[in-house]
């Protein structure tokens, strides 16, 4: 379950409570859910009960209890807890490896996009400075990808962007954009020339190389007669990669909300490093026969490559099949 899915689930619980007569409020057009704070309960939290308490004429704890009754047992939710003055806290059910792979495969490079920000209207002041233009262009794409109505308009938002030159002629489009987007908008852009070096110390190279490795693994697997099928039989991959793929939708949503495309770039680096760390276990070695473990690992590698391609596309950067 993505943050956008959870937001809709909570909104539907409010609507059911209103339809049942348990609450007398207007159903909010969108319910905000956020990562639970350190030391909190569960993975996500929402203050919707506090915002509905006054119009409902009831204590926030009562409103939270009404909503908890309608949220327990919902698909994707393992537990609902009420904390403090009426915060709803959610522990989510973990998707199986097969469910995760199916979700990525069904969405393709669009995995992680949704309508969590549907109804939001965001306008940016048309920027004159070079780096600001690149950052705002990326932010518009991120917001559109989460369902917002986003664009340029005189008098709109002006994100704080440290100036920097956009130099595709000197660096190429990919390095020129990564240089400006990988650093937080308010920080200085990265140094350009190191991004042209094909070395593991170059994060742009690592991300693009990891995507190319995922694609090459599929080609090599086909030659061995191995198909990418995650079978959920205990032969899945250990390590951080599945969790990083699950987190991808939340990263895109947070990047849009916080006007921070650098979050996407940092997440892609983590996905690339996790993929490169286990790539050598994906295919049979020597006389080893293909097994369910190899099929599952290959399916996860394919999903990781899809996430890398989609994330690079969000940044306006290419995802080459071969490097």
Task: State how far the Cα of 271 lies from the Cα of 275, in Å rounded to an integer.
Answer: 6
Question: What's the pTM?
Answer: 0.80
pLDDT above 90 (res 1): no
Average pLDDT over every residue of 251-263: 94
- Going from the C-alpha of 302 to that of each of 95, 270, 305, the distances in angstroms are 17, 16, 5
**pLDDT surpassing 80 at residue 39:** no
- Distance, in Å, from the CA atom of 247 to the CA atom of 154, rounded to the nearest integer, reads 35
pLDDT at 275 over 60: yes
Average pLDDT over residues 210-223: 97
What percent of the chain is predicted at pLDDT more than 90?
A: 80
Chain-centre distance of CA 128, in angstroms? 29
Q: In degrees rounded to 5, what are phi and psi of residue 267? A: -65, -40
Pairing outcome for strands 121-124 and 149-152: parallel
Residue 94 confidence (pLDDT) above 90: no
pLDDT above 70 for 238: no
Question: Cα–Cα distance between 310 and 141 in angstroms, integer?
Answer: 12
Gap between the Cα atoms of 58 and 228, Å rounded: 53
pLDDT at 62 over 60: yes
Judged against a pLDDT cut of 80, whether residue 288 lies above it is answered with: yes
Task: Tell me how many helices (H) and strands (E) the chain has.
Answer: 11, 6
CA distance 229 to 108: 16
Q: What is the pLDDT of the chain when averaged over all its residues? A: 93
Report the relative pairing of strands 77-83 and 121-124 from DSSP bridges: unpaired
Q: Is the per-residue pLDDT at 234 higher than 50?
A: no
Q: Report pLDDT for 235.
A: 53
The proportion of the chain whose per-residue pLDDT surpasses 70, expressed as a percent, equals: 98
Q: Is the pLDDT score of 96 beyond 90?
A: no
Measure the CA–CA gap between 132 and 185, rounded to whole angstroms: 8
For the record, the structure tokens of 181 come out as: 């987007």
pLDDT confidence bin for 237, thresholds 50/70/90:
low
> For 126-147, how does the pLDDT look when each residue is reduced to its tens digit (9 = 90+)?
999 999 999 999 999 999 999 9
In whole angstroms, what is the distance from residue 141 CA to residue 108 CA? Answer: 17
Taken as a whole, the chain contains a residue count of: 323
Tens of pLDDT, residue by residue over 192-210, are: 999 999 999 999 999 999 9
Nearest to 143 by CA among 165, 115, 111: 115
Element of type H or E holding 212: helix 203-224
- Of the pLDDT bands very low, low, confident and very high (cuts 50, 70, 90), residue 155 is very high
Distances (CA, A) of 226 to 12, 98, 165, 222: 43, 17, 47, 6
What's the sign of the alpha-carbon dihedral 39, 41, 46, 50? negative
């Amino acid at each position: 379950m993505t943050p956008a899915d959870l937001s809709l689930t909570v909104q539907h619980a409010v609507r059911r409570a209103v339809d049942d007569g348990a609450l007398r409020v207007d159903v909010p057009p969108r319910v905000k859910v956020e990562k639970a704070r350190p030391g909190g309960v569960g993975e996500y939290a929402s203050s919707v009960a506090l915002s509905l308490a006054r119009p409902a004429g009831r204590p926030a704890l009562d409103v939270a209890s009404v909503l908890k009754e309608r949220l327990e047992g919902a698909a994707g939710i393992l537990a609902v807890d009420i904390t403090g003055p009426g915060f709803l806290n959610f522990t989510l059910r973990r998707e199986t490896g097969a469910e995760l792979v199916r979700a990525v495969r069904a969405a393709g490079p669009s995995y992680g996009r949704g309508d969590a920000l549907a109804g939001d209207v965001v306008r940016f002041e048309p920027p004159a400075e070079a780096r600001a233009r690149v950052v705002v262009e990326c932010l518009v794409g991120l917001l559109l990808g989460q369902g917002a109505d986003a664009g340029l308009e005189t008098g709109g938002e002006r994100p704080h962007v440290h100036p920097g030159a956009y130099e595709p002629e000197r660096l190429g489009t990919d390095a020129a954009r990564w240089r400006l987007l990988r650093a937080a908008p308010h920080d200085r852009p990265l140094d350009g020339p190191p991004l042209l070096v094909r070395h593991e110390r170059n994060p742009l190279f690592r991300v693009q190389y990891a995507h190319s490795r995922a694609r090459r693994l599929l080609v090599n697997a086909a030659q061995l007669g191995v198909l990418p099928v995650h079978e959920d039989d205990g032969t899945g991959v250990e390590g951080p990669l599945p969790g990083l793929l699950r987190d991808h939708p939340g990263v895109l949503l947070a990047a849009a909300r916080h006007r921070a495309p650098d979050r996407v770039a940092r997440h892609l680096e983590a996905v690339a490093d996790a993929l490169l760390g286990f790539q050598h276990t994906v295919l049979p070695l020597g006389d080893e026969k293909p097994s369910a473990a190899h099929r599952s690992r290959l399916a996860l590698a394919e999903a990781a490559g899809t996430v890398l391609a989609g994330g690079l596309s969000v940044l306006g950067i290419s995802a080459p099949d071969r490097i």
